[in-house]
Structures are given as C-alpha cells and as structure tokens.
Chains A and B, each alone.
Chain A
Amino acid sequence: MVLVFIDQSEGQIKKASFEAASYASKIAAQLGTTAEAVLLGVTSENLSNLGNYGVKKVHTIANETLTNFDAQLYTKAIAQVVEATNADVIVFSNNTTGKAVAPRLSARLKAGLVTGAIALPDTSNGFTVKKTVFSAKAFANININTPKKIISLNPNSFNISSTTDTAEVVPFNTSVDASKIAVSAINKVTGEVSLSEAEIVVSGGRGLKGPENWGLVTELATLLGAATACSRPVADIHWRPHHEHVGQTGLAIAPNLYIAIGISGAIQHLAGVNRSKIIVVINKDPEAPFFKAADYGIVGDAFEVMPKIIEAVKKIKATA
C-alpha cells in the first residue's frame, strides 16, 4: 500500500498535498496496489474529496495537539499509521513540513528516503527515484534499497489528476503526547499567492532601480494571478522582503512561467529558478547570462517594455 501524507496548515489542505496524492495514486497503480492518505490535526475540509486524487481511504488523527506542527509528534503518529496499515511506500510533499518529517520518519523506520523527487519511481529493476541535485543543475537517480520506501515530491513537478471518486474517511485511534514545541505566532503573508506553490511568478532585480518601481512587477503579477519574487541583491538592500528572494540561498521554485525583469541571471539565481517550465527574461543588457537559460526574451528597457506588456495582458484577460 502507498500512504500519502496530507499536509494542512491552520486546518486547510495545501495544494502540494493534492499533487502528492495524485503521485501516490500513480505509484500505487504501478505497483498493483492502492493508495491511502493520512491527515493529522483538526480540519473542517471534506476529506472524502481526497478520493478525487485517487486515494481510497483517509486515516485521520483529529487531535487538537496535532493541528500545530511538531515534527517529532507527526513522525510518531505517521509511523503508527504506517505500521497499522502496513504501508510500503510513504509519500510526502517536499515542502517545509515534508522536509522536517520525512527524514525523521526515514530514521525511525529505517526506510530509505529520496527527497525532491520529480518523477514516478522506476520499478522495472529495483526502486529508483529521480531527484534534482546541485541546486537543479543536474538530476540523480537514487536506488532505495530497503523494504519500506519514503519519497518526498518536489512541489509543481507532478500534475494533479482528479476524478469524482470519493474516499472512505476513517479515524485512527491513538494517544498523542504533549508537544515540546509551543507555537507562539503564525505570520502568513496574506492576500498574495504563495511563492512556493505559484504557477506563475513575476520577479524583479536591481535593473528596476528602486522599490518605488515595483508597481511594474506587482501589477503584472496581480493580472496573472502570480506570486512576486526578487533576486538576492534586491532582498539584501531591503527593496523587497527576504521571503521573496529566489535563488541558491533563497527559495528554489518551479513555476510553469517565470518572468524575470531586470535580473542578470547569475548562476546562483538560476539555481533557484531553472526548474521553471518557461522562463521569460526582460533585460536591457543583451549579454545578460539569463538569456542563455530563457525560453523567451526581450532585450529592452523594462520601464518602456513593461507598461506595454501589462496593457497587452489586460486586453487578453478582458476578452477571456
């Protein structure tokens, strides 16, 4: 059986979990077995809808303590479900929760772990999972050599597939220890699209000359339903908040469309964005290294080009 961990935050299921559920169901089909899900904490969501993504059963531990995240308690709880259901493959999303829990579970169960998977495992000869390495400059194919296997799937690397099927929701009875971590505040950036899950990202660099010009980025982003991002120098000089920094030492993202405005494309920046499916570069320097990694580009002044792009997108959106 393939067990997928469904991640909630403040009671809401994250989009990355639907990708993970679709991925787990495809692995189950490949192995001739079924997929089930586990969700921890209290949520108001209709969990039978997780059947839409191919899982047959949802095991829930609706314990208030688990509504807040604690990697230690989550690991213990998931390990119990793994044991009770005899799951062979456990799937996480490789988001902040998955990155904290999957390694713990791996150590607890002595189950081989591949983090950052980008494709279904190759089960023709053993169990081999492709993942990104060297900050997405290469891929590694990793053999998992243990009976139990854990995979965490990179967000935005597997398409969600859905049907109208529903899943059976079954409470899993267990006791939960007190958490050793007290959450004293959760500060979410509201009203904006989450950068790690965004399908479109509009990003600005030093070429925009100052924070007062960011309207060009945010206006296009709002029109496209996109998240906004920035290069490292821009975050370092505080034109934009640090959580928008994408690159080697910032966030690594993989949207369908990445639009870079006034970013030269240093190798450290590319490391964070080169998993994007389509890269668009707007830069007045024709020698900017970013053009080598781009799919589409304009060599031109962002201050002249961007208003025209924004108008053209508005026109298309108006007729859509």
Chain B
Amino acid sequence: MKILVCISKTPDTTAKIAFADNNTKFAAEGVQWIINPYDEWYALVRAIELKEANPEVVLHLINVGNADNEPIIRKALALGGDEAIRINSEIADSFNVASQIAAVAKEGNYDLVFTGKETIDYNGSSIGGMIAELLDLPFISHAVKFDLEGSNATVTREIDGGEEVDKAILPLVVSCQKGMAEQRIPNMKGIMGARTKPLKVMEPISADVLTSIASFDLPPVKAGVKLVSADNPEELVRLLHDEAKAF
C-alpha cells in the first residue's frame, strides 16, 4: 500500500497580503511560510494515521517548488511519512504542477493520492481533480472522513447542503478538508528523525502551462463601519431595511 500526499507551501494565515512589481507578484518579503493547512492538518495527518494503523503503508510526500521549500518539507516529514520528493520547478500554473505530480504518482504506482481541498493562497481547488484525470482515476473531493479496509475505501464528502457517503476501490485520488483528522504538532523525536529522512530532488518533466497571472488587485477599502447605539437597535434594523435594502 503506497500513499502520496501533496504538500504545498503557502503564506501564513495571518500574513499581510500585498503585491510587488506593478501588482504582478505577491510581495513575499518578510512573509512566514507554512505548509498549506488543508494539506497538513487533514491530508497528511490522515495519511499518517493510516500508516499508524497499518505499518505496511509506505507514505511519501511530494512538493513542487524550488529549494526554498525544503524547510516546510522537513516540517511535514517531522509529522510523519517515510520520504519526500521535491520537483525542482518554479510554479507555472495548476495544470503544470498537477502534471508534475501525476508523472511521479504514475511512475510510483501509488494506491492513494491525497491533496488538501485547496491552497489558502490561490484557492484553486484544482490540483486533485487534474491529477485524477491525468491518471484516469476516480476522484472524491472535499472529503471529511476516510476509512480503509484492505483496498475498499469509505469516504464521506461534503456536498452542497450536507454530506454524501461514497464507497470506492483503490486506486483513488482524494481531496481533504476539516473532519479528516485533527491537527498535530511535531514532537522532538519527529523533528530529529526528519533530518535524516530521504528528500529526493527530481527535475520537472516538460508539461503545458495553460494560464498566467496578469495582475493582482486588493479589494477596495471599506467606507468604515456605521455604528448604531446599543440603546436603539431598532435603528439598525431600519438602516438594513431602508438604506441598505438588505432584506
């Protein structure tokens, strides 16, 4: 049983969002980088739990990016996993990234590929679906629960207005979100162990780039809050009804 977990590097959730080079690039200076929370807290931790339940599971992590990404890959390895692969490539677009990962997944014959439901920077929700299509595998997105018995998976996924329980046979691609697992903090043993785990660097394959970023904008600044006295909440309701026409 081989599991591949896709790990992305994103700015910290509290990072200041600003742009440079005439609003064409994210202003990365001074930004704290983290493992994309959906990849870390849900995809990776659930995969680690599957390995803890079945020691025969081989768990690999994969990241696409340059050498600056290695600290967050080591941090992921400190949580768990046997080895990591870094595809030495700048990020071009989601299709290019998915093509890189799909090539490794195919070559490595993984039974299960986990991604987070989206990254918190580009909010694309695209990589998992693209990998599944490139591998011609079933894809279950927005999973909140994942159980495995042999090669039979039972997956609960979010749907609009509720949940759906699906059954499928591996191999499978799954995108993960809240509910899959609980966040873990790496312990000292994990951090020490991660230093000596293999981190393979592979050169990218040639793959298409379908989209490009023209520019970024920041949302317009709000006019400021209109405060209503706590003694007169009826005035708030009147404003919402008559001025804002919100209901």
Given A145-B212, A248-B120, verify A104-B139 contact (CB < 8 Å).
yes
Chain B residues in contact with chain A, CB under 8 A? 11, 13-14, 17, 19, 37-38, 41, 93-95, 98, 117-118, 120-130, 132-134, 136-142, 144, 154, 157-169, 177-179, 208-219, 222-223, 225-230, 233-234, 236-241, 244, 246-247
Chain A residues in contact with chain B, CB under 8 A? 9, 14, 16, 69-72, 75, 94-97, 99-108, 110-116, 128, 130-146, 180-189, 194-197, 200, 224, 242-243, 245, 248-250, 252, 256-257, 267-268, 271, 274, 277-278, 280-281, 291-301, 304-306, 308-309, 311-313, 316
Min CB distance B124 to A, Å, is 5
- 10 A-B pairs closest in CB distance: A300-B230, A103-B129, A112-B210, A188-B162, A312-B237, A107-B133, A194-B161, A104-B133, A103-B126, A100-B141
Contact B225 A128 (CB under 8 A): no
Q: Tell me which of B129, B140, B230, B237 contacts A104 (CB under 8 A).
A: B129
User: Which of B210, B228, B234 has the most A CB atoms < 10 Å from its CB?
Assistant: B210
Residues of B within 8 A of A268 (CB): 13-14
Given A9-B160, A278-B244, verify A96-B141 contact (CB < 8 Å).
yes
Min CB distance B207 to A, Å, is 10
Min CB distance A56 to B, Å, is 27
Residues of A within 8 A of B19 (CB): 138
Complex: how many Å from CA A311 to CA B133?
Answer: 54
Complex: how many Å from CA A311 to CA B238?
Answer: 12
Contact B244 A104 (CB under 8 A): no
Additional A-B contacts beyond A112-B210, A257-B240 (19; CB < 8 A): A72-B132, A72-B133, A72-B138, A96-B142, A96-B160, A99-B117, A99-B141, A104-B139, A116-B125, A128-B214, A136-B123, A140-B217, A142-B212, A143-B212, A181-B166, A250-B178, A257-B247, A293-B222, A299-B230
Residues of B within 8 A of A138 (CB): 17, 19, 216-219
Complex: how many Å from CA A306 to CA B211?
Answer: 48
